[in-house]
Amino acid sequence: MNKSELIDQIAAASGLSKGDSKKALDATVKALKEALVKGDKIALVGFGTFSVNERPAREGINPATKQKIQIAAKKVAKFKAGAELTNELN
């Protein structure tokens, strides 16, 4: 499912126009991004939890030259599915 298909689904389920559904989705995504950038944890009961994890710096190998390289530390977004979503999938 891509963004436009998701907007169509939101419009059909909520009775909103596609334009309003797009605005609502964009606002939701923006709010999620801003919260994650601040380091907040977002818990949507029944769906799952979004959080930020930090990966430490580590040593890797360049596959082309086989030389050791240093890989910098970075933050990554993480999603853990909630129990209800997991049950729906299985």
Q: Taking Cα atoms as reference points, which of 3, 37, 41, 44 lies closest to residue 23?
A: 3
Predicted pLDDT of residue 43: 96
Instruction: List the 42-44 sheet strands across, edge first.
Output: 42-44, 48-55, 74-81
**For the chain, domain boundaries:** 1-39, 41-90
Q: d(Cα 40, Cα 50) in Å, to the nearest integer?
A: 9
Q: d(Cα 21, Cα 11) in Å, to the nearest integer?
A: 6
The residue behind tokens 């530390």 is 73
Each residue's pLDDT tens digit, 47-73: 999 999 999 999 999 999 999 999 999
Predicted pLDDT of residue 21: 96
Predicted pLDDT of residue 34: 96
Predicted pLDDT of residue 79: 96
Q: d(Cα 70, Cα 61) in Å, to the nearest integer?
A: 8
Predicted pLDDT of residue 1: 95
Domain 41-90 has CATH 3.40.50.2020: no
Predicted pLDDT of residue 81: 96
pTM of this prediction exceeds 0.85 = no
CA 26 to each of CA 1, 23, 56, 68, 72: distance values in angstroms, whole numbers, following the listed order: 16, 5, 32, 42, 31
